[in-house]
Amino acid sequence: MTTDEVLTEFVASLSSKGSHFRSLAARMVHSILTDRNVTVLHQTHASFLSGLHLYERRLDKEYSLVDCIAMNSMRKLHIRDVLSKDRHFAQEGFILLVP
């Protein structure tokens, strides 16, 4: 499971790395979008506002808005394990699968 916002953040993180990495990022996203084993939750105004609400409640943290949207999506789907090493998810009680 992932979200449109996470894919957007991934592509943005490689946007200044040159044409090779930009192309690779686009191919990876297309692969994820067409993979039957991956659910991509679409961005909605409601998911944005929900993420913003969590962001506002965690002003003492360094969570990005994308993190907050993903956390809310995971909670809604009762997902506890995250394929990430982002400590922000651990701070919210998720289990990091990448050490």
Range of the domain at 52: 1-99
- How many domains does the structure of the chain reveal? 1
**Residue 82 is inside which H or E element, if any?**
strand 81-82
pLDDT digits (tens, 9 = 90+) for 44-75: 999 999 999 999 999 999 999 999 999 999 99
Task: Name every residue whose Cβ is closer than 8 Å to that of residue 82 and which is 6 or more positions away in sequence.
Answer: 74, 89, 94, 95, 96, 97
| CATH number of the domain residue 40 falls in | 3.40.50.1010
78 torsion bin: left (phi>0), alpha (psi -120 to 50), beta (else): left
Q: Considering the entire predicted model, what is its pTM? A: 0.90
pLDDT given for residue 99 in this prediction: 81
